[in-house]
Chains A and B, each alone.
Chain A
C-alpha cells in the first residue's frame, strides 16, 4: 500500500512538472510559429521555423511523459486543458510583440531552459535524463542563435537598441515566475529528478545571461535583484490565464468542430 501511495505521489509530482515543461514549450513554439512568413529575412524565417518545430517536439515529449504519469492522452493534454489548468510561466504565452521582444524573450527562456535541462540531465530517472540530454543539444543552437540577435540589436544602437531596452523592461517582471517551478522544487530534488536546488539553478541562470546582456547594453544586474526579491521557493502560482485563453482559442480552431480522428 505504502509503495503504491508513494508511486501515486511521485506520478503526481513528475506529471505536474512534465505538464509545466510541455505547456511552456508548446506555447512558446506556437508563438514562434506565428512568425512563419513574417520574419525580417527569408533566411531567418527558415531558422526560426526550425526552432519553433524543436519547441513543439519537446512539448510532445513532455506531454507523453505526463501521459505516462496517468494524466491523460498527450494530444488531449496539449489541446483540451482549460487556460486555468495550464502550468506555464506567463512569459511563454505572451503575444510576440516586435522582433526585439521576440528574440530577447527567447534568449532568456532558452538560457533558463538550458540550466533546467542540465539539472534534469543528471536526474536519477533515465527517461528524463536522456530526454533532457537530447534537448540540450538542440537548445545549444537556439541559444547561440538568439544570443547573436540580442547582441546585434543592442550593438546596432538607435531604434533597435531602444526597442531592445523596451523589451527588457517588459520582460523583467516575468522572470521570477519563469525561473521557478509549477511543483515544489524541493520535492523534485527529494525524488532525485532535479540534481540541484532552485537557488543554485537561479545563480547559474544569472551567470549565464549577465555577460551577454551587458554586451547588448542592457542593465543585466537588475535580473539578480529582481529574482532575489521574488524567490518563488515553493510551487509558483498559475499564470494569469488571458494570454493562454487567447492562444488556446486559436489552437482549438479545428478540434472544437467535434470529436473525430484528425
Chain B
C-alpha cells in the first residue's frame, strides 16, 4: 500500500502536477523540501545583515530609502519562506520558534556570501548587483518546482530580486563613473566577492540529495549549469563597466561551450558554511540571537495581552 501511494505520487510528479501543502507526500520529499526552504528562508534573513550595516551610512536620501526597502524585502522573503517551511515542518512537530532556534544553534546553514564582510559602500552595491543577480539565477531555476507553495512564493521573490539587482547596478554605475578612488573601491569590492559568488552556486558534483531533488522535480538544473548561466550573463556586464574580473584563468571555451575558471576553494568555503567560521558568521548569528532571544519578552507579552483581550 505505501509503495502504491508513493508510485501514485511519482506519477503526479512525472505528469508535471503540483503538490500542495495538505497533499500526501513521501517523507523524504518533505524533508528535502524542508531542508531547502528552511535554508533559503534563513539565508534571506541573514542576508539582510550585511546590507543593514549600510542603511545608516547610505550617502543620499534616495540611496537610504532604496537600501531600506531592499533590506525590508529580504526580511519579507524570509517571512514568506518561513510560512512555507512551517507548513512542511508542522507534521514533524516543529514550529517557527524552533526553525529560528536552529540558526542560533547552527542546525541550519545559510549561504556562504552572508558570512562575509561588507567593509565599503561598494560592497553594498556588489551585493545588490551580483549576489542578488546570482540569487535570481538560482531562484528562477526553481520557479517550476513541483511543490506549489514554494513556487508561488518564489514568483514574488524573483520579481523583487530583479529590483534589487537594478538597485545594486545603480550604485555600481555611480561608482564606476565616479572619482578614481570610487572606481578603486569598486574594484576592490569585486575582488573580495568574486570567489564567494562562484561558490554560491555550490560544488559541481551532483550530490545524492541534488539527484533526488531532480527526480522529484523540486529542481531541474545542476549547480554547474547555474554557475555557467551566471558567467554568461555577468562577465560581459562586469567588463562593460570597466572592472577587471580577478581570475586570469577565466575564459569561454568555444569548443566545449563552457566557461573555464579558477575553482573556488570548495573545502574552505564549505567549512565556512558548515561550521559558521566566516569573518562575520558569529557576529551575525549574535544579531539574530538578539532579535530572537533578547526580544522574547515582547512576543510573550503579546500572547498574554491577546489572551487577556479574549478573556
* Chain A interfacial positions (CB closer than 8 Å to B): 26, 30, 33-34, 36-43, 45-46, 49-50, 52-53, 56-57, 59-60, 63, 74-75, 78-79, 99, 151-153, 155-160, 163, 250-255, 257-258, 260-262
Identify which of A33, A40, A50, A57 contacts B55 (C-beta below 8 A).
A33
In the assembled complex, 22 residue pairs joining A and B whose CB atoms fall closer than 8 Å, in A order, are A33-B56, A37-B75, A37-B288, A38-B291, A39-B295, A40-B295, A41-B295, A45-B79, A45-B291, A46-B79, A49-B68, A49-B71, A49-B72, A56-B61, A56-B64, A152-B306, A153-B305, A156-B301, A160-B298, A258-B181, A262-B59, A262-B174
Give Cα A160 to B14, complex, Å: 54
Identify which of A30, A38, A151, A262 contacts B60 (C-beta below 8 A).
A262
Identify which of B64, B291, B300 contacts A39 (C-beta below 8 A).
B291
- Contact between A260 and B182, CB atoms less than 8 A apart: yes
Interface centre among A37, A60, A158, A257 (most CB of B within 10 A): A37
- Contact between B52 and A37, CB atoms less than 8 A apart: yes
Identify which of B45, B69, B179, B302 contacts A152 (C-beta below 8 A).
B302
Give A77's nearest chain B residue, CB to CB: B61
Q: Which residues of A contact B287 (CB under 8 A)?
A: 37-38
Give Cα A183 to B94, complex, Å: 57
- Contact between B121 and A99, CB atoms less than 8 A apart: no
- Contact between A53 and B57, CB atoms less than 8 A apart: no
Give Cα A37 to B45, complex, Å: 7
Interface size class of B (residues with CB under 8 A): 35 or more
Q: Which residues of A contact B182 (CB under 8 A)?
A: 260
- Contact between B59 and A254, CB atoms less than 8 A apart: yes
Q: Which residues of B contact A50 (CB under 8 A)?
A: 72
A244 to chain B, nearest CB (A): 14
Give Cα A50 to B73, complex, Å: 10
B118 to chain A, nearest CB (A): 12
Q: Is B135 an interface residue (CB 8 A)?
A: no
8 Å CB contacts to A: which residues of B162-202? 171, 174, 177-179, 181-182
Give B58's nearest chain A residue, CB to CB: A254
- Contact between A36 and B52, CB atoms less than 8 A apart: yes
Q: Mark B225-264, 1 if CB is under 8 A from A, else 0.
A: 0000000000000000000000000000000000000000
* Chain B interfacial positions (CB closer than 8 Å to A): 45, 48-49, 52, 54-65, 68-69, 71-72, 75-76, 78-79, 82, 121, 171, 174, 177-179, 181-182, 287-288, 290-291, 295-302, 304-306, 308-309
Q: Which residues of A contact B65 (CB under 8 A)?
A: 53, 56-57, 60
Q: Which residues of B contact A157 (CB under 8 A)?
A: 304
Give Cα A39 to B174, complex, Å: 32
B43 to chain A, nearest CB (A): 13
- Contact between A160 and B61, CB atoms less than 8 A apart: no
Q: Which residues of A contact B72 (CB under 8 A)?
A: 36, 45-46, 49-50, 53
- Contact between B298 and A99, CB atoms less than 8 A apart: yes
- Contact between A43 and B121, CB atoms less than 8 A apart: no
B127 to chain A, nearest CB (A): 14
Known interface pairs A53-B68, A260-B178. Does A30 touch B56 (Cβ–Cβ under 8 Å)? Answer: yes
A171 to chain B, nearest CB (A): 18
Give A41's nearest chain B residue, CB to CB: B299
Known interface pairs A39-B295, A60-B65, A250-B56. Does A160 touch B301 (Cβ–Cβ under 8 Å)? Answer: yes
B44 to chain A, nearest CB (A): 10
Give Cα A59 to B296, complex, Å: 32
A218 to chain B, nearest CB (A): 15
- Contact between A79 and B301, CB atoms less than 8 A apart: no
Give A57's nearest chain B residue, CB to CB: B65
| Additional A-B contacts beyond A26-B61, A37-B75, A37-B287 (7; CB < 8 A) | A46-B76, A75-B61, A79-B59, A99-B295, A155-B309, A253-B57, A258-B179
- Contact between B178 and A40, CB atoms less than 8 A apart: no
Q: Which residues of B contact A99 (CB under 8 A)?
A: 295, 298
Known interface pairs A30-B56, A33-B55, A258-B181. Does A160 touch B308 (Cβ–Cβ under 8 Å)? Answer: no
- Contact between A42 and B79, CB atoms less than 8 A apart: yes
Known interface pairs A258-B179, A262-B59. Does A42 touch B75 (Cβ–Cβ under 8 Å)? Answer: yes
Give Cα A64 to B179, complex, Å: 27
- Contact between A37 and B291, CB atoms less than 8 A apart: yes
Q: Which residues of A contact B302 (CB under 8 A)?
A: 152, 156
Give B72's nearest chain A residue, CB to CB: A49
- Contact between B68 and A36, CB atoms less than 8 A apart: yes
A106 to chain B, nearest CB (A): 14
Identify which of A46, A250, A251 contacts B75 (C-beta below 8 A).
A46
- Contact between B60 and A40, CB atoms less than 8 A apart: no
Q: Which residues of B contact A40 (CB under 8 A)?
A: 291, 295-296, 298-299
Give Cα A253 to B64, complex, Å: 12
Known interface pairs A40-B295, A43-B79. Does A158 touch B59 (Cβ–Cβ under 8 Å)? Answer: no
B60 to chain A, nearest CB (A): 5
Give Cα A18 to B171, complex, Å: 29
- Contact between A33 and B68, CB atoms less than 8 A apart: yes
Q: Which residues of B contact A254 (CB under 8 A)?
A: 54, 57-59, 121
Q: Which residues of B contact A258 (CB under 8 A)?
A: 179, 181
Q: Which residues of B contact A255 (CB under 8 A)?
A: 59
